[in-house]
Structure 1
Amino acid sequence: MDPVHDYEIFELGDFVLQHGATLRGARLAYQTYGTLNAAKDNAIVYPTWYSGRHWDNEWLIGEGRALDPSRYFVIVPNMLGNGLSSSPSNTPPPYDRARFPHVTMWDNVEAQHRLVTEHFGIRTLPLVTGWSMGAGQTYQWAVSHPEMVQRFAPFCGSSVTSEHNQVFLEGVKAALTADDAFRGGWYDQPPVKGLRAAARVYAGWGFSQAFYWNKVYREMGYSSLEDFLVGFWEGFFLDDRDANNLLTMLWTWQHADVGRTPGFDGDTVAALRSITAKGIVLPAEKDLYFPPEDEAWACQYIADAEHRVIPGVWGHFAGGGDNPVDVDFIDAALKDLLAR
């Protein structure tokens, strides 16, 4: 199976976004793993992350894992703006490229909810889980649809984007848009200088100080710091990632807050208190975006949520699937949660 081209499309039609724009002919790309049972009660939703595509989530799915396709029906919906679902790069005028409208976490989850309920006829979800922005969507699912979500497990992500995190994202945005080739988002050729600069900004945040101090990148096959910056980080941003798509998802990330769910009037604490699902919240010990203390703050308002910290030096990328020790830690937590 070629994961890059093998996926399904759910037609959303005229999809009205939270901020008022209508995406006409909106599309939600997704992939599934396993078989939906007759009772339709074995589905797990596992959303994608900032710039990730469905195949980037496959490291956590497999035989013997918590997300075992022989037992569960795992749905991986691609986030709006990621280049597969409706995005600046694939939407026709007038909402193409720099005119693509603002998309919220709530919008993403509403699109996914329609896929789950309208297309598959699913009414209950044993688990929603995800990394980074996928974790933000996990929190949003638990707030938006408490009647469906039995368990939730966000890892290396948050229910609300902190101001410190917003500042980091301003650096990424500035790097992308400073390239003359960006042309206000109306570029004909990729703004490569901006993409490479954004990669360099990101590099100081994705992994921890201890990761670099211990030169753990050598274990990943990189021969020097510069080799890692070019080979891993610049390679990551140049791997079919469109600048307008990145900025669309960046806006979603910056403005993420479950308190902005309709009915909560911006009250993040009230939204967290409304969660009825059982949860294990999994921050990474040295995550510079989503530090454990931020998620400890969120957990105090959720009735049935355990705060379990992923140990080690990998920082945010403890949730990226690159380190077998962290993969096993996350998988074990999901198994614990599914057994409850």
Structure 2
Amino acid sequence: MGCMHAFVWGETHPEFADALMPLACEPTAIVGRNRLWRTMLKDAIRADPAWQGGEYDAQPVQGLRVAVDLLVLAGGAPMPLQRDLATPEAVDTYAKTQIERRLPSLDANDLWFQVNASTGYDPSADLEKITAPVTWINSADDFINPPELGLSEQFAPRIAKGRYRLIPNSVEGRGHGTHTWARFWKDDLVELLARSELAAR
């Protein structure tokens, strides 16, 4: 279950889950920079003449190249990128490699709808309805959910059985993808399962 789905399900069906562990999101509308890069990505796809209103025979490659560039930036982490791409040549090679690796697996319409799917997302009004134990974790190196906005600290107190933790920035981080590496949060999961077991007794 995705992070945003966890908040939506938690408040829409409070009895559905014994525990919730949202990773890498905020329980509020997609606005600001987060919506901006998504809008740019969608516009790039549809502005490519090869898109043909979505009825293309071949992928609109120019639009998808821009989309890949935005995905790389939005998903990247500054500290490991600074370490690993320490020369202009390394940066150029990495950018080219990302296009070559990602482009063949993308479908323009699929990607457009994936990015557009969160347009109406905003569970912020009903967070108090969440009754399950919650461990919510974001990472400090996440371009998509930047901690300096203070959103997590604003919303976390409204979740009755919620605990929030921010993974510190480090060269080991993976930006928005930090949440896919269990070593960053496995201890939190163990603690959450123990809490949910106690709550069920």
Give the whole-Å Cα distance in 2 for the aligned partners of 1:288 and 1:152. 23
Task: Name the Cα RMSD after superposition.
Answer: 2.2
Deviation at 1:166, TM superposition (A): 0.9
> Is the Cα contact below 8 Å between 2:143 and 2:176 reproduced in 1?
yes
* Deviating more after overlay: 223-232 vs 192-201: 223-232
1:13-71, Cα deviation, whole Å (9 max, x unpaired): xxxxxxxxxxxxxxxxxxxxxxxxxxxxxxxxxx3xxxxxxxxxxxxxxxxxxxxxxxx
Q: Matched residue of 1:319: which SS? A: helix
Query: Corresponding residue for 1:208?
Result: 77
> Is the Cα contact below 8 Å between 1:142 and 1:277 reproduced in 2?
yes
Aligned ranges for residues 2-151 of structure 1 at < 5 Å? 47=1, 134-151=2-19
Query: Corresponding residue for 2:199?
Result: none
Query: Corresponding residue for 2:198?
Result: none
Aligned with 1:320 (options 180, 183, 186)? 180
In the alignment, does 2:153 pair up with 1:296?
Answer: yes
Deviation at 1:254, TM superposition (A): 2.5
Query: Corresponding residue for 2:94?
Result: 228
Aligned with 1:245 (options 106, 110, 113)? 110
Q: Matched residue of 1:283: which SS? A: strand
Q: Matched residue of 1:232: which SS? A: helix
1:177-215, Cα deviation, whole Å (9 max, x unpaired): 222111111111111221111111222221133332222
Query: Residue type matched to 1:242 in 2?
Result: D
Deviation at 1:234, TM superposition (A): 5.0
In the alignment, does 2:54 pair up with 1:168?
Answer: no
Query: Residue type matched to 1:228 in 2?
Result: Y
In the alignment, does 2:171 pair up with 1:337?
Answer: no
Choose between structure 1 and 2: higher strand proportion.
1
Give the whole-Å Cα distance in 1 for the aligned partners of 2:100 and 2:37. 18
Give the whole-Å Cα distance in 2 for the aligned partners of 1:161 and 1:304. 22
Higher relative contact order structure (alpha carbons within 8 Å, sequence separation ≥ 6): 2
Query: Corresponding residue for 1:118?
Result: none
Give the whole-Å Cα distance in 2 for the aligned partners of 1:290 and 1:161. 12
TM-score normalised according to structure 1 size: 0.51
> Is the Cα contact below 8 Å between 2:24 and 2:145 reproduced in 1?
yes
Query: Corresponding residue for 2:139?
Result: 284
Query: Residue type matched to 2:15 in 1?
Result: E
Query: Corresponding residue for 1:185?
Result: 54
* Deviating more after overlay: 312-321 vs 276-285: 312-321
Q: Matched residue of 1:281: which SS? A: strand
Question: Which ranges in structure 2 are unaligned for 5 or more consecutive residues?
Answer: 196-201
Q: Across the two proteins, how many residue pairs are aligned to each other?
A: 188
Question: Which ranges in structure 1 are unaligned for 5 or more consecutive residues?
Answer: 1-46, 48-133, 218-222, 259-267, 322-326
TM-score normalised according to structure 2 size: 0.84
Give the whole-Å Cα distance in 1 for the aligned partners of 2:31 and 2:119. 9
1:85-138, Cα deviation, whole Å (9 max, x unpaired): xxxxxxxxxxxxxxxxxxxxxxxxxxxxxxxxxxxxxxxxxxxxxxxxx11111
Give the whole-Å Cα distance in 2 for the aligned partners of 1:216 and 1:317. 18
> Is the Cα contact below 8 Å between 1:161 and 1:257 reproduced in 2?
yes
